[in-house]
Amino acid sequence: MREKGLLIVLSGPSGVGKGTVRKEIFSQPNAAFEYSISMTTRLPREGEVDGIDYFFKSREEFEILIEQDKLLEYAEFVGNYYGTPVDYVRETLNSGKDVFLEIEVQGARQVREKFPEGLFIFLAPPSLSELESRIVNRGTETEELIRQRMLAAKAEIELMDLYDYVVENDHVEHACRRINAIVIAEHCRRERVSILYKKMLEVK
* CA 185 – CA 77 distance, rounded (Å): 35
Among 135, 148, 171, 173, binds its own copies (CB under 8 A): 135
CB of 203 to its own copies, least distance (A): 5
Among 60, 67, 113, 161, binds its own copies (CB under 8 A): 161
Per rule CB under 8 A, is residue 33 in the interface with its own copies?
no
How many residues interact with its own copies (rule CB under 8 A)? 40
Q: Residue 59 or residue 138: which is nearer to its own copies going by CB?
A: 138
Per rule CB under 8 A, is residue 185 in the interface with its own copies?
yes
Which residues, 6 or more positions from 16, have their beta carbon under 8 angstroms from its beta carbon?
A: 123, 124, 125, 169
Q: Residue 171 or residue 189: which is nearer to its own copies going by CB?
A: 189
**What angle do helix axes 127-136 and 143-160 make, rounded to 10 degrees?**
140
Report whether 51 belongs to an annotated binding site.
no
**With contact defined as beta carbons under 8 Å apart, do 178 and 167 qualify?**
yes
With H, G, I as helix, E, B as strand and everything else as coil, classify residue 22.
helix
Known binding residues for ATP are 12-19
